[in-house]
C-alpha cells in the first residue's frame, strides 16, 4: 500500500532534518512492504518569501489530499525580531492546524537509557521517565477573538475561549491513550483563577465518570505542575491540558528527556494528521550539518505506527535511535556527541538496512 506524504521542510534546520526523515523512509520503503509517495509544499518564512503567505492555498490543498503531513520547522529571525511584522511564519502553522482540524497534540517525553546523567536532575528522579502530553491544539488563547494591539502600542488584548465539545474530544483522546499506558491522567489547569479552566474541570470529570471509570483522574494547577515536573516528574503518566499550558509545559519537560532534539510530536484530529519535531527552526545551525535529526525520526516512528499500522518498522526505527544514543553516536546536544546530522542519519539507515538491532 502506498501512503501519500505532504512534505513541508519549512525554515532554518527544517530542510536538513526532513532530508534525514526521507532518507530513513527510503530505507524502510526498500526493506518492508510499505511504499511512500512524497510531494513538497511551502510553509512558514520560506512560503512568505516565495508567495507572500505563510500557508499558501496550494499547501492547504496538498495537505488535505495527503495521508499525513511531515513538517520540519517554522520560524526566522527577521520575523522573530520584528514585533510589527504583519505576516509571520507562525501564522502558517496556526492556519494549518485550524484548516486540518488537528486538535490533539501528542508529545511523548521518554528518557532513553544512557541519558540519565545528561539530565540536570538527580538520576534517581528521572529513571524510567515516560510522560505523554496531550495538548489541545486549535482552541484557547492562541485562537481566541478578539486578539489585537492598538495603533500606538499602549494596549493589547487576547481572548481565551473553550467550548464543551472542544474539551470533550481532547479529553477522550487523553483517556484512550491512558488506557494503553498506566491508566492515569493529570488535568493541568488554573481553575482557581480562570473560568475556562473551571469548564475544563467540569467537562473532563463528567467524561471520566461516564465513559472512563477505569482511569485514575487527578487535577493540578499549572504552576504546581511546572514545579512537579522538576521535583518528581515520574509521578506523571498522561498530562492533559489546554493549548498554551501544554505548549509551555511540554517544552519545559523536553529537558527531562536529555535534549529538545529528542522530542517528537503528532497532531491528530478530524483531517490529515501532522508529524513534526517539537523543537523550533534553530536558525543558528541552519546549513551547518549539526542539527539533531532524532526528534524528526521519532515523529516518523509515530507516523509509521499510527497511520501505516507499521508497528514493527516503527519499533525498528526507535531501536536504531536508542542504539545510537546508548553508544554515544549523537550530535552535540546529546551526551556532548561529535556526530553530524548526516552521519547520524547514515548510521540509523545502516542499522535498519542490516537489521542488526
Contacts of 156 (CB under 8 A, 6+ apart): 148, 149, 150
Is 202 designated active site?
no
Q: Is the dihedral of CA 45, 47, 53, 56 positive or negative?
A: negative
Which strand ranges, in their side-by-side order, compose the sheet holding 68-73? 35-40, 2-10, 68-73, 274-277, 264-268, 104-110, 130-136, 238-241, 184-189, 216-221
**Angstrom distance (rounded) from CA 25 to CA 127:** 31
318 in Cβ contact with 305 (< 8 Å): no
> Residues 49, 165, 214, 223: which is the catalytic one?
223
Is 214 designated active site?
no
> Residues 4, 29, 98, 190: which is the catalytic one?
190
> Residues 11, 76, 247, 333: which is the catalytic one?
247
> Residues 142, 162, 275, 282: which is the catalytic one?
142
Is 247 designated active site?
yes
> Residues 67, 130, 251, 346: which is the catalytic one?
251
**Angstrom distance (rounded) from CA 18 to CA 200:** 36
Is 61 designated active site?
no
Is 251 designated active site?
yes
Where do we find the cell 542519519?
345
Longest dimension (CA), the chain: 63
Q: Which residues are catalytic?
A: 142, 190, 223, 247, 251
Amino acid at each position: 500500500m502506498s501512503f501519500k506524504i505532504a512534505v513541508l521542510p519549512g525554515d532554518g534546520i527544517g530542510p536538513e532534518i526532513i532530508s534525514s526523515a526521507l532518507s530513513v523512509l527510503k530505507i524502510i520503503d526498500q526493506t518492508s512492504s510499505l511504499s511512500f509517495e512524497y510531494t513538497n509544499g511551502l510553509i512558514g518564512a520560506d512560503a512568505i518569501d516565495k508567495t507572500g503567505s505563510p500557508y499558501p492555498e496550494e499547501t492547504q490543498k496538498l495537505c488535505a489530499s495527503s495521508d499525513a503531513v511531515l513538517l520540519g520547522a517554522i520560524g526566522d529571525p527577521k520575523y522573530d525580531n520584528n514585533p510589527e511584522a504583519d505576516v509571520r511564519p507562525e501564522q502558517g502553522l496556526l492556519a494549518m492546524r485550524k484548516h486540518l482540524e488537528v486538535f490533539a497534540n501528542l508529545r511523548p517525553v521518554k528518557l532513553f537509557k544512557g541519558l540519565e546523567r545528561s539530565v540536570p536532575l538527580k538520576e534517581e528522579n528521572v529513571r524510567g521517565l515516560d510522560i505523554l502530553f496531550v495538548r489541545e491544539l486549535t482552541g484557547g488563547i492562541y485562537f481566541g477573538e478578539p486578539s489585537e494591539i492598538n495603533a500606538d502600542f499602549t494596549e493589547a488584548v487576547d481572548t481565551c475561549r473553550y467550548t464543551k465539545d472542544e474539551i470533550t474530544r481532547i479529553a477522550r483522546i487523553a483517556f484512550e491513550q491512558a488506557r494503553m499506558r498506566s491508566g492515569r491522567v493529570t488535568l493541568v489547569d488554573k481553575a482557581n483563577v480562570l473560568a475556562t479552566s473551571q469548564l475544563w474541570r467540569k467537562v473532563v470529570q463528567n467524561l471520566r465518570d461516564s465513559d472512563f471509570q477505569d482511569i485514575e483522574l487527578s487535577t493540578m494547577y499549572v504552576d504546581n505542575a511546572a514545579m512537579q515536573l522538576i521535583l518528581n516528574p515520574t509521578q506523571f503518566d498522561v498530562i492533559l491540558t489546554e493549548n498554551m499550558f501544554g505548549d509551555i509545559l511540554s517544552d519545559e519537560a523536553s529537558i527531562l528527556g536529555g535534549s529538545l532534539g529528542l522530542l517528537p510530536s503528532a497532531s491528530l484530529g478530524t483531517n490529515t494528521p501532522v508529524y513534526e519535531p517539537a523543537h523550533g527552526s534553530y536558525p543558528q545551525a541552519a546549513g551547518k550539518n549539526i542539527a539533531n535529526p532524532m526528534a524528526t525520526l521519532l515523529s516518523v516512528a509515530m507516523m509509521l505506527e499510527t497511520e501505516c499500522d507499521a508497528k514493527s518498522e516503527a519499533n525498528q526505527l526507535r531501536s536504531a535511535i536508542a542504539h545510537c544514543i546508548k553508544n554515544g553516536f549523537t550530535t552535540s546536544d546529546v551526551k556532548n556527541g561529535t556526530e553530524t546530522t548526516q552521519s547520524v542519519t547514515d548510521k540509523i539507515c545502516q542499522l535498519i538496512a542490516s537489521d542488526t538491532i
